[in-house]
Chain A
């Protein structure tokens, strides 16, 4: 089954304690992305990657890191989490071009709800 998986689904942590949220896709998609969702703000892109070893900042990258060492994985790293990073996080993947496969349709993971105390 084609899917994007995220782990963990729920996480409670304390300020300053480094954490990683994993994201993996099995559709051989080039493009992967992280979003955070906050009430009234919709989804805002944190980082995206157009292929292995190629990453770029989205609209709200501060306080986050990513890496893309393998095509299928795109982990999100919070080196020193703060309470303002409490949010719902989504990972997504898609083909890179409109002519390939599902034509740039982004497939979303189930979300990770993070609470930073």
Chain B
């Protein structure tokens, strides 16, 4: 079955440390890939997206993600985390304009 997995339910990092959030998908072909962020009590904001081309994509707030076809992964990274990055992060796939599937989310806590 088609699915999106985010293996880490909750991650805690210290401010200034690097961050990597994992995302794997199971689709026959490469779907369109997205990362969204949801701050507490807020709606969802797009961080970045991948459709084709360069497998390393840059997003807002200093985030980047790398698409690896061989691993069916689209991991999100940030070199230095800020306290304001504490939020919930969702990986999502667009099945070519039909249904849209989110992963279960990873909650990020940032220690001062």
The chain A residues found within 8 Å of chain B, CB to CB, are 31, 33, 35, 40-45, 48, 50, 56, 58-59, 90, 92, 96-98, 103-106, 108-111
Contacts and interface: CB of A to CB of B under 8 A. Distances in A.
Nearest to A105: B46
B49 A104 contact: yes
A103 B33 CA distance: 12
Contact of A109 (B43, B100, B105): B43
B49 A105 contact: yes
Contacts of A109: 43
B81 to A, nearest CB: 22
Interface residues of B, number: 20
B10 to A, nearest CB: 11
Interface stretch (B12-20, B62-70, B71-79, B90-98): B90-98
12 contacts: A42-B90, A43-B90, A43-B92, A44-B102, A45-B102, A48-B100, A98-B32, A104-B51, A105-B46, A105-B49, A106-B46, A108-B43
Contacts of B103: 42
A41 B43 contact: no
B99 interface: yes
Query: Which 10 pairs show the lowest CB-CB distances between chains A and B?
Result: A43-B102, A42-B104, A42-B102, A108-B44, A108-B43, A42-B105, A98-B51, A110-B43, A105-B46, A58-B99
Contacts of A45: 99-102
Interface in B1-44: 9, 32, 34, 43-44
Given A43-B90, A90-B44, A106-B46, A33 B97 contact: no
